[in-house]
Structure formats: structure tokens, C-alpha cells
A and B are shown apart, each in its own frame.
Chain A
């Protein structure tokens, strides 16, 4: 028998729901997207008793069924739609033993939808240290459910949970609260109007429509009950919440005992230091420094290795395969392109490692708490800190991380300024330009080159904060700001959770960014190795006649340069040269800039392609650097000077050159207005700053 049952994992944030998911599914999981929105959809398969299989869906964390964000809305959409292919046969509510009371709120709501429901009480290993004891029999009886006591940390209770899921048919669907007691007359009217519908479901549809107007639930026409004003609805929701807590309190009064004297005060002791007005900031600063150290120092070891591997792979392909267009495409286009993506893996992985450890341990909430007041001065929220830090890896996940910012204006400003933070895609551009134009030497023991890099990071953050300040003055705020953040207890992060997050996020980045980079590399290569007219196609003949005195490598290089200049790519570069000349760039850099508007990291591989197409040098970065150093203008002056280098660095620091980010901003703000403002605004700033810098230094 191979029947598959649908299991939905639901619970508050910070309850270890994902740990339970990982424990049930192991590596048998995948992350996708819900159609049309960028909420992660995590699903996996779990083998149960008697050959039964469960399809497990890890729904976004939610405190209740009254959604206030896109993520939470996913849960309600699913539970209200019986026709959804993922509609659960059974709901597994994950709760945390320390916050059982609050966790039970959403449990009672789901029970009332008459979905068979199991209660998982997670983090059972903490019961003793918190002085908590539970009477499972009473809880099961009063809540009309089955309870699984689980400790994902000690890997206990998972088999019992699997066993309970296998027997999902025997689980009661008795509701916890009689919905009509919330407001008897109102619900009586509702019941008469829709005798065939579940009352609580109706109520959820009505109250959700007040919050989320765009839902399509054509089955039920509730228009005549929408007459209730928003504040009346809210009063009813408040009443419902109070009633539910009364029920929960009565259950816990007999089912749970807490002996406070046995509780240990780890939270209190750590909070005293970590949220301290001096030590709190010092520790946060040290953690930030460690992260940067890891990304820009420790990560260079595997990066150098990857770099060397791809360089030798490229030349191996060129030497081994029969010469021809296809080999060139493979060696110069595809392999160079893939190398340009793979090289980011160590940095991205390190960053996600740190972020996931900080989130899992509960420390991130303390940072939010510490930073809120300061960030608010710039129109941001304490919760903007997480996106701004994540932005140093990649703006795309960073912008998705803004979802938990309640206030729309604060969230919008965070989304708009996050791309100013120095993402890892800017790094290869910075590294090669810095190596070219910044002299070696030390200041107070720090190298000029490292200082320049650090300065660029500070400029990025500074610009983000400064533009937030300006936007805060310009944008109107029509909603009251509010801010609620749970301060979870401190936990040692679970290795499995961290590892899975790092693998998952890195994989997504590589494949998403990879597609773009690879496509652009191939297009660039094609444009560079083809051209119109005799100037390109008869290059050999023209140059052989022109330089009859030279031959061999020198002639070959002259031919290659001539061909590139008259290729399609060269024509594009030449046509934009007038616009970028005041910034100190030539047409080759221009091609790099044009390609970079899809993704910044393309710049270096573009230059590599431009400088290596058809020439006999090896294409590794060191050679690329040497080639760049010898590039000259028509009048013989060097192209990469201090002035043009700084100008280029500043251009990359500010310009909006990432299609992926624009696409995600469009999705998150639901309009083209904001990504266009971002593109135009940031690029204008970049152009002006680069222009001033070049003209000033030159």
C-alpha cells in the first residue's frame, strides 16, 4: 500500500518547527515557492508505519490564524481551501514547552476548523531546567487531541510522533471553542444565512477579508456580512482571543505545573550583558567584525582554490578538445562563466552560516532590540538590521527578510536602501580594481588595499542609512507605526538546522544567479566573436597588409584586438563610450558596465572574456590583472589609473546593477514603481559620484 497522507506542520515562530520538520524528513526535502509569491514552500516525505507515507508541508511560522503578513497568509489560504492539493489530512501543531500557553492559541483555532490535530510539545529537554511538569493524560483529554513530547535536540519522541501521524484517522475533531459564544446574535445570523458552512471557517473568511482584500474564495458570498466595520471586527477578534485564552488557562491550570524556584536564569544573565547599553554594542560590533573577517579572509583559501581549478580546467579544455568555435565557447564562455559563480560559494556559505547561527541562538532578536531606537531615527526599524547585514551576501534574500517589519513605510525604506550595502557580487570587482590602482603599503599596520575595501563597505552602509534618512523625509506615513518582537530564549543552534539552511540558501543563490551569469557569459562571447562587415570578417587580411613587417604572436594579438573592436560587442561599447568617457572609462569597460546591469559579478568575467577572446594568453585572474594594467587609451595614457579606478569603485558601490534584485523588489512591493525608482535613482547617484571623483582626482 502506498497511500500518501498530507501533513501540515504549523506553529509559532521559534518553536523548533523546522527542527521537527528536519527530524521527520531528513534530506528528503525540497524548498520551492508558493505560486506567484516568494514565500518559501518547504515540503518533504516521511515514511510511517505500515508502509504509509506522509507528505509533510512546513508552513510559515504564525502566532494565530489572523494573518498580518504574506507568510502567515499562506497558512490560512491553505486551511480554508479544501480543494487545495496540499490540504492537510492532519495538522501537526508544534509548540515549545516554555511558551505552551501562547502556542496553544493557534492550536485551538485549527482544532475549530475540524481538522484532525496532533500537538507536539517540543524542547522537552528544557522542562527540568525550567521547573515545568506536564500531565499528558489531562492535556490529551481536555484538548481532545494526542500529544507527542519531543526533543529534537536529543532526538527523542520523533518515532512516537510518526506513530501518531500514522493513526491520524482515530484523532478527534472536537472543537475547543463554540464560535457562536463570541457574539451570539451575530453568529446566529451568520448560521442562518449559511446553514451548510462551518461557522468558524465563515468567521475566518470574514475577518481575513478585512485584512487581506485580494483573496479569492468564490465559494462563499459573504458580502452582506461585511457591513461590520473594521473596528467592530477587531473587537470581535479581541473577544475571541480572550475566550481562547480562558479555555487554555483552564486546561493548563490542571495540566501544567511550573515551579519557578527550579528555573535557571540563563536568559536573565545573558540579556543583562547582551542588551547592555555599552557591552551590547561592543559584542555586536565584535560579532560583525568576525563575520567580515570570515568572509574576506577565511573564505579566500577555498576561493583561490576554486579560481585556480577553473583556470586550469579552461586551459585543459582548450588543449584537449579539437580547436574550433565550440571549444572556444566552452573554454572562454561557459567555464569562465560558471567559475564566476562557483567562486562565490565560500563567502555566501559563511555568511548564511553566521546569520543562521545568530537567528537560531536567539541573539538576532537582541540586536533588533538594541538597534531599534537608532534605526528609527533614519526611518528604519530595528528589524532592518537583519536585511542590512544579509545584504552583504546578497540583496535578494535580504529583501525577502524585510517581511517581518510591520510598518509598511519602514519596510519600504529598508527594501529601497538594502541594495546599497556591499553585496558579495561587488567583491570581485572591488578586489581586482583595488589590486590594480591602490598602491601597496601600510598605514598603522593595515594595508592600503584592505583599508580601501573596508572604506567601500562603510560607504555602502553610510549611503544606505543616508538615503533612508532622505526617504524618511520624503515618503508619507499614513499608518501608525508598531513593532512587536518576540524575545526567544537562548539556545545552542542545532547543527543539522544550520547545515541544512546553509546548503539550501547557497544552492538557491548558485542556481538563481548562475542562470543569469551563464546566459550572459554565452551571449557576450557570441557578440564578441561575431561582427558585421569586412572590418571584422577580413581582419586577418587587413592587418597582414597593414603590418607587413610583424608576424607571429604580435600580429595575432593585433588581429584579435582589431576583431574585438569591430565585433558586435565592440560596437555596443563604442556607442556608449561618449557617455562614460567623463568618468574615465573606455569602451571595453563600457561593455563590462552594460553587462553588469544584469548582475555585477559579470564585470570581471566580461573583462576576462573581452581580454582573452582569441588571444594566446591564459585567462586566469592574475594575467587578467596584468593585461588590465597594460591597457592604454589611444593617446598612450593608462586606462586604469587611480582616478578611473576610484571612479569605477564608486560607480559599483552605488549603481543598481542586479536584475534579480529589481525582480524581487517588484514582487515584494507589488509594483514596478519602486524598482524603477531604485534603478534610476541609484544609477544617477553612481554616475554623478563617479563623475565628480574622476574629475576631482584627475
Chain B
């Protein structure tokens, strides 16, 4: 089974494989959420959602349900 950003734990990072799902807003892609870019989970908000990410040097937060649409290849540090 493929991993998604929602599976990341704090401090873990991965490489985006696919972010072409219909439900991913274009704005997120424009902020660098594109295949081959690195994504790192910096913080989780209280109650585990939203997720504070560093995608390709860009710091942003998205909700878990959106994060679950972006598949990644997981790497450990």
C-alpha cells in the first residue's frame, strides 16, 4: 500500500509521487506540492489535524483529509 502525507509522523519526510487527485486544490500545487518534491512533517496541530508541512522549502498547513490524497514515498532520517 502506498503511503500518503497523512501517514507521516512528526519529523519524518517523504518524496511526493502523485498529487494529481481532482480534489487537490490548484493552489496547493502552485505552492510546490508536485511530484519529486520533498515533504516533511514539522508539527501536528492539537488533535492531530491540520498538518504543518515543509514542502520543497515552502511552509504551509493543510488538513489531514487533503494530505491523505497525496501519495509519497516515505524516507526516514
Contact = CB atoms under 8 A, between A and B. Distances in A.
A234 B19 CA distance: 12
B17 interface: no
Contact of B59 (A64, A373, A487): A487
Contacts of B50: 369, 372-373, 382, 483, 485
Closest 8 pairs between A and B when the two form their complex, measured CB to CB:
A277-B46, A487-B59, A373-B47, A64-B30, A483-B63, A373-B49, A369-B61, A485-B61
A241 B29 contact: yes
Contacts of A483: 50, 61-63, 66
B45 A372 contact: yes
Given A242-B35, A372-B49, A482-B25, 11 more contacts: A64-B26, A101-B32, A102-B58, A105-B30, A241-B34, A281-B46, A369-B61, A406-B25, A482-B23, A485-B62, A486-B59
Contacts of A480: 23
Contacts of B30: 63-64, 66, 102, 105, 241
A271 B43 contact: yes
A63 B27 contact: yes
A370 B23 CA distance: 24
Contacts of A238: 20, 26, 29
Interface string A87-112: 00000000000010110010000000
A373 B60 contact: no
A47 interface: no
B28 interface: yes
A10 to B, nearest CB: 14
Contacts of B48: 373
A408 interface: no
Given A238-B26, A271-B52, A245 B34 contact: yes
A235 B31 contact: no
A446 interface: no
Contacts of B60: 484-487
Contact of B62 (A101, A234, A484): A484
Contact of B28 (A101, A234, A484): A484
Contacts of B23: 480, 482
Interface of A: 63-64, 66, 68, 99, 101-102, 105, 231, 234-235, 237-238, 241-242, 245, 267-268, 271-272, 275, 277, 280-281, 365, 368-370, 372-374, 382, 406, 480-489
Nearest to B56: A101
A655 to B, nearest CB: 35
Contacts of A482: 23-25, 28, 62-63, 66
Contact of A66 (B22, B26, B58, B65): B26
Contacts of B28: 482, 484
A484 B31 contact: yes
A interface secondary structure, majority? helix
Nearest to B28: A484
23 contacts: A64-B27, A66-B26, A102-B30, A231-B22, A234-B26, A235-B20, A238-B29, A267-B59, A272-B43, A275-B43, A275-B45, A365-B61, A369-B45, A373-B47, A481-B65, A482-B62, A482-B66, A483-B66, A484-B25, A484-B31, A485-B60, A485-B62, A486-B31
Nearest to A63: B30
A372 B20 contact: no
Contact of B34 (A242, A280, A368): A242
A102 B63 CA distance: 21
A277 B49 CA distance: 11
Nearest to A374: B47
A488 B46 contact: no
Contact of A487 (B22, B25, B29, B61): B61
B26 A237 contact: yes
Interface in B53-76: 56-63, 65-66
A370 B25 CA distance: 22
Contacts of B22: 231, 234
B71 to A, nearest CB: 15
A123 to B, nearest CB: 15
A365 B62 CA distance: 12
B25 to A, nearest CB: 5
Nearest to A244: B30
Contacts of A63: 27, 30-31
Contacts of B31: 63, 102, 484, 486
A108 B65 CA distance: 31
B57 to A, nearest CB: 6
Contact of A275 (B24, B49, B52, B63): B52
B46 A370 contact: yes
A231 B28 CA distance: 16
Contacts of B49: 372-373
Contacts of B25: 68, 406, 482, 484
Contacts of A102: 30-32, 57-58
Nearest to B43: A275
A117 to B, nearest CB: 18
A212 to B, nearest CB: 13
A241 B25 CA distance: 13
Nearest to B64: A373
Contacts of A369: 43, 45, 50, 52, 61
Nearest to B63: A483
A281 B28 CA distance: 27
Given A237-B26, A369-B52, A406-B25, A245 B63 contact: no
A413 to B, nearest CB: 17
A467 to B, nearest CB: 23
Nearest to A489: B59
